[in-house]
A and B are shown apart, each in its own frame.
Chain A
């Protein structure tokens, strides 16, 4: 099982994602440089957090033109696993791999804090190690994480069950005061209709070891590993 972590200029979660893949999960790791149109045979592409290209113009707006992103698009079309985290989610939306957009937090301030997420899909390659109704404690760290989509798109997402994570309180209740950024429907993460492209604002790579405050993030990395191994052995 081999993970590829995309590196744009301005990316900073690349090393954290790489650390978890390599040192905590024990999977194979390779970095994918933005200028190289080569995915090096990876089973899952992580588009990590950061400020790709300084987030100039608009978050993720320039990154989608990077040579590596063309290959990521083709990979997704073939059913490959693509996982956008934080800035990576923004990039996937800009690249059209996921619907909607991430707007400025309703507080107009950057927020770095722990959030609780209810898991609404456990049949995905990204969440198969979770149980129905699991509440994951995963931190956010962003200034532009307010999920937005037009009403038609939003209703399609809901009807097709594409909302994977929602901000909730500690008991798992989806409440306005548990929403850290003003996301519509408390959306923290969505998947494409085919189920192979996930975008999420919270950072699972920051909570995959107990000393960092929790290990819920590791559940998602393990899920991907299970899924990929199932494909490989099938």
Chain B
């Protein structure tokens, strides 16, 4: 092995610092060679190592009665009843999508699917949380990303049932694409990717290995700049057809005799997959022979093979002697498989090319990058909001229409109708409302899934904003009648080397931890994506919360759209002057200012418990989270989704509550529900018992949203505005 001449250019190529290089030399007691340096570079990238965020992430709660698998595996898992576990994770694919929107988004979907498949679970749902710069300038990103998500998800036959899309200036150069996958597995058949047992065989299955995606993980750990488009070769190309075959073959072999582990090949390819599998077993090592890796191009060096991020590949750890049987299953699906190495007990990852050793690095050195301790400095507080300076509300109906057509609030149907959201025959609450719900076939259990994050709140106050993201996701789940169970998080932030960004990261994690503890929601998996900056803008802190919940009997599920004429329309929770960071302020007054609404987690919890108790007793007909855009927007959505109007008296406010805040403020802890009149006495006493405010807003019916003398807009006008917002 020949050591390489190391200079700063070389180190930059593998994205290592001089300090990190010294740690490597000290640990190896020699200089690393080219292959070793490349392997360490990718695994020590922020994307793979979490070296900047790891210490903070330990603050997040990750245990609970329902948790079957917490962080550290390919995905987390929670118990959902009758022996089933829901397996789920969210992951970013931001930088690839910035440069090559279609393939970046498509391979993001492919990657998160493999994380769930590796746990032995069959994927049942996909969700995508997206952030772009304003339209029309960001149309190219939006179109490419939506087409890429559909192109992959539609082809592989897993329904895309939910997610979000928001538009803000700060994402113009650095859009965010976070993909979440949820799968199901029998709890006692959950796989864990551990390289157990000296002498067991490593098999590489699926696609052949090419040169695509080399240094993808390192690239994801740098800021985007003018030269970024030169990184296009670092973006991989997806083949969903191949992944569909890989999915079926993995389902065929999972939990069969002799299959010890399945591991996804994602960022950092074979290097990461082997190191992670070995790293999960104390003292384990692995020996990989690159000459046995099936390739799709000639002349690939060991370096290329170890760092390739070619998609649609899996590593399978197989008990020696069973490799023939496993290979046969993959042959059935016309997939290649190859024995490429074995498990050892020397704690080293040894790479050979035929007879020649090309790398030998301790597994722990690969998997445990030195943590970075950075300095956080609070940012200047956001501009204060002087409510008294705001002109009074002139025409509430006109404002409502402006909000409904705003790209951040309008109907997402132009997007989700491009995704197959029905395949699987399990979607019992389709996209378009709060959370989506999938049934577990053969049982009555429903699984509710959602993502949420209001990044404008996070920008104004990262701690409170992060708490809001958790609370809103929980409300989305609860609005379907399901009990929230657990969280997967994708923390998207700018460059943490800047003290104010690191402070945002600290505050974000602190806020998440607080809200998750208060609402009993363990974080079982997640991902951190840093360095989301363009040449002149940093993104808002964007901690996207993916959440999973369950309901015993999906026949009791709730949806947002009003269901019949003459039902009582009720507001649960109370409204305050919460205009800071609101969509109203942005759309009507061009302001991003103030503080996000105060969040009282105890009240949040009480409101949620009340809704679930009322839903469980069959007292309510529909429920909808009341947040972005405020109460009037939520009412309009209930009307539009149910195609039924409502009428009621004008909203009367008592000082200090302002009318604009009552109608368009975004106070948390609120729901819009509808109920039969005969349920009212019971609902009221239930609300008293839960210390939750309940107020009557009116009755469903008619073909307009009509608050006497205050607002009257026909359903047709509401629909025209709402459905046209994305152009």
**Chain A residues near B (Cβ < 8 Å):** 9-10, 12-13, 15-16, 19-20, 23, 49-51, 53-56, 109-113, 139, 141, 143, 203, 205-206, 209, 211-213
Answer yes or no: B164 CB below 8 A from chain A CBs. no
Residues on B with C-beta less than 8 A from A55 are 155, 241
With A139-B422, A206-B425, A212-B425 already in contact, the answer to whether A53 and B555 are too (CB < 8 A) is: no
Judge whether B555 and A109 touch: CB under 8 Å. no
Residues in chain A near residue B425, CB distance under 8 A: 15-16, 19-20, 205-206, 209, 212
Contact B423 A141 (CB under 8 A): yes
Smallest CB gap from A20: residue in B:
B425
Cβ < 8 Å to A, chain B residues 387-441? 416-425, 427-428, 430, 439, 441
How distant is the Cα of A54 from the Cα of B246 in the complex, in angstroms?
Answer: 13
Which of B244, B334, B417, B419 has most A Cβ within 10 Å?
Answer: B417
Q: If A9-B334, A50-B157, A211-B439 touch, does A206 touch B422 (CB 8 Å cutoff)?
A: yes
| Nearest opposing residue in chain B for A205, CB measure | B425
Chain B contacts for A212, CB-based, 8 A: 422, 425, 427-428
For A213, the chain B residues whose CB sits under 8 A away are 430
Cα(A53)–Cα(B239), bound, Å: 11
Q: Determine if B241 and A112 form an interchain contact, defined as CB atoms under 8 angstroms apart.
A: no
**Chain B residue, CB-CB nearest to A14:** B157
CB distance from B153 to the nearest CB of A (A): 10
Instruction: Using known A-B contacts A56-B241, A211-B555, determine if residue A12 contacts B157 with beta carbons closer than 8 Å.
Output: yes
Tell me whether B150 is interfacial, beta carbon within 8 Å: yes
B274 CB to nearest A CB, Å: 28
Classify the secondary structure of A's interface with B. Answer: mixed
**Closest CB of chain B to A63's CB: distance in Å?**
12
Given the complex of chains A and B, what is the CA–CA distance between A20 and B441 in angstroms? Answer: 11
Residues in A whose Cβ lies below 8 Å from that of B150: 110
Chain A residues whose C-beta falls within 8 Å of the C-beta of B240 in the assembled complex: 51, 54
| B154, B416, B419, B442: most-surrounded residue (chain A CB, <10 A) | B154
12 additional contacts (CB under 8 A) given A9-B333, A211-B439: A9-B241, A10-B241, A12-B423, A15-B425, A19-B441, A51-B157, A56-B241, A111-B417, A112-B422, A209-B425, A211-B554, A212-B425
A13 and B420 form a contact (CB under 8 A): no
When distances are taken between beta carbons in the complex, the residues of chain B under 8 Å from A23 are 441-442
Least CB distance from B99 to A in Å reads 23
Chain B interface residue count, Cβ-Cβ cutoff 8 angstroms:
31
Nearest A-chain residue to B439, judged by Cβ: A211
Q: In the complex, are the beta carbons of B428 and A112 less than 8 A apart?
A: no
| Contact A112 B424, beta carbon cutoff 8 Å | no
B245 interface hit (Cβ, 8 Å)? yes
Chain A residues closer than 8 Å to B242, beta-carbon distance: 54
CB contact list, B574-631 vs A, under 8 A: none
Sample of 7 A–B contacts (CB below 8 Å)? A9-B334, A13-B423, A23-B442, A112-B418, A139-B422, A211-B555, A212-B425
Complex formed: what's the CA distance from A170 to B244 in Å?
A: 36
Alpha-carbon separation in the docked complex, A213 to B333 (Å): 34
**Are the C-beta atoms of B441 and A112 separated by less than 8 Å?**
no
Residues of A within 8 A of B154 (CB): 51, 110, 112, 141, 143
Min C-beta distance of A54 to chain B, whole Å: 3
- Contact across chains for B420 and A110 when beta carbons are under 8 A apart: yes
Quick one: CB contact mask for B136-162 with A, threshold 8 Å, 1 for yes?
A: 000000000000001000111100000
| Bound: A19/B244 CA distance, A | 19
Give Cα A185–Cα B439 distance, bound, in whole angstroms: 37
| Inter-chain contact B422/A211, CB cutoff 8 Å | no
Q: Across the interface, which residues of A come within 8 angstroms of B421, CB to CB?
A: 112
Which of B239, B418, B554, B555 is close to A54, meaning CB atoms less than 8 Å apart? B239
In the complex, A50 Cα to B422 Cα: how many Å? 13
Q: Which residue of A lies closest to B247 (CB)?
A: A12
Q: Which of B157, B421, B439 has the most CB of A within 10 A?
A: B157
Contact across chains for B155 and A54 when beta carbons are under 8 A apart? yes
B residues in contact with A112, CB < 8 Å: 154, 416-422
Contact A111 B155 (CB under 8 A): no
For B555, what are the chain A residues with a Cβ–Cβ distance below 8 Å? 211
Contact flag A9-B422 (CB < 8 Å), given A110-B150, A211-B439? no
A109–B157 touching, CB < 8 Å: no
Closest to B426 in A: A212
Nearest Cβ distance between residue A94 and chain B, in whole angstroms? 17
Cα A205 to Cα B426 in complex, Å, equals 11
User: What residues of chain A lie closer than 8 Å to B424, measured between beta carbons?
Assistant: 15-16
Cβ distance A175 to chain B, nearest Cβ, rounded Å: 19
Q: Which of chain A's residues have a CB closer than 8 A to the CB of B156?
A: 12
Decide if B155 touches A10 in the complex (CB within 8 Å). Answer: yes
Q: What's the minimum C-beta distance from A25 to chain B, rounded to whole angstroms?
A: 13
Give the distance to chain B from A203, nearest Cβ to Cβ, in Å: 7
**Chain A residues with CB below 8 A from B244, complex form:** 9-10, 12, 51
Q: Give CA–CA (A212, B425) in the complex, Å.
A: 7
- Binary contact track B495-514/A, C-beta < 8 Å → 1, others 0: 00000000000000000000
Asked if B245 and A9 sit within 8 Å, CB to CB, the answer is yes
Q: Chain A residues near B554: list those with CB within 8 A.
A: 211
**Which residue of A53, A56, A110, A205 contacts B418 across the interface (Cβ within 8 Å)?**
A110
Report A139 CB to chain B, min CB distance, Å: 6
Shortest distance between the CB of B196 and any CB in chain A (Å): 32
Report Cα–Cα, A141/B419, bound state, in Å: 8
Top 7 A-B pairs, shortest CB-CB distance: A12-B157, A54-B241, A16-B425, A51-B155, A141-B420, A112-B420, A110-B418
A131 vs chain B, min Cβ distance (A): 26
Q: How far is the CB of A211 from chain B (nearest CB, A)?
A: 5
Q: Which residue of A lies closest to B554 (CB)?
A: A211
Instruction: Tell me the complex Cα distance, A7–B245, Å.
Output: 12
In the complex, what distance in Å separates the CA atom of A11 from the CA atom of B270? 29
Considering residues B154, B418, B423, B441, which has the most beta carbons from chain A within 10 angstroms of its beta carbon? B423
